Structure 1
Amino acid sequence: MRARDRESDMAELKVTQVKSSIGAKKNQRDSLRTLGLRGIRKSVVRPDNAQNRGLINVVRHLVSVEEVDA
């Protein structure tokens, strides 16, 4: 099974920024941008994979995460 096919079977994560990135370290601001978050109360839905989990882990104090069905 190809990786792309496996990702479509996996759940997705809804990531919402709940705190400002002002005063955050550069790598944390970069992680928010990579996730597609550009402001407080903005949400994105991302696939649940190791790359996105790592980005979320870096900014876990600035975001809230919910699991949604694909």
Structure 2
Amino acid sequence: MTPASTSAPFESRRSLPFVTWFRSRLLARWYDRHLQRRDLAEIDDHLLRDLGLTPQDVRRECAKSFWRT
């Protein structure tokens, strides 16, 4: 075997923690976005006016999928 062929599996093993970290961060971000939109949907009209939002703004934001910004 050549040295180049033996190092390839080790390189993929080193990237595995990054991939795992990235996936967990992505899932956490999506879940956080879901919770924020759910909370936004529960805010009453008076507080929405204070925030400068309309009910249409809230409906539009809450209609988005959790992975969309």
Please indicate, yes or no, whether the TM-score normalized by the shorter chain is above 0.5: no
Which category describes the TM-score, using the shorter chain as reference length? Answer: under 0.3
Structure number with greater CO (CA < 8 Å, separation at least 6) is 1
TM-score, scaled to structure 2: 0.24
TM-score of the aligned structures, taking structure 1 as reference length: 0.24
Structure index of larger Rg: 2
Higher helix fraction (1 or 2): 2
